[in-house]
Each structure stands twice: as structure tokens, then as C-alpha cells.
Amino acid sequence: MENLNRSNNQNVPFIKRTINGQEFTVLIHFQDGCRESAQEKVKRMLRADVQNAEISV
């Protein structure tokens, strides 16, 4: 994870990846005082995806 300097003098963390020759930059942002950490949020999102997935056997 890196930091990007924004015009309002704040460092914004971001992830940069190259997939099939295309470069993607994803800015990471959370509100101050949020209830969950980034790790907790990802876990929650993954659980929801698994629960909502249509599984065919």
C-alpha cells in the first residue's frame, strides 16, 4: 500500500496493480471514527458474498 498526495495536503492510501497490462489504482478511504477496521470490513463483505452466493453442486 502506498500513499498519494492529494491537493488538500492529505495522504490517501492506495493500492496499484497491473492486470493483463492494464494498471489499476484503488484509493482506500474510511471515515474518521468508523466502527470497523479495514480487515473487519473485508471479512464482513466476504461473509456476505458467501452467504448470498448461489452454490450449485
Res 9: pLDDT: 47
Specify the range with the lowest mean pLDDT, choosing from 2-6, 23-27, 48-52, 53-57: 2-6
The answer on pLDDT for 12 being more than 80 is no
Helix, strand, or coil (residue 57): coil
* Mean pLDDT within 10-37: 85
- Region 30-40: mean pLDDT is 81
**Assessment of whether the complete model's pTM goes beyond 0.85:** no
Per cent of the chain over pLDDT 90 is 28
Nearest CA-CA partner of 4 in 14, 18, 26, 32 = 14
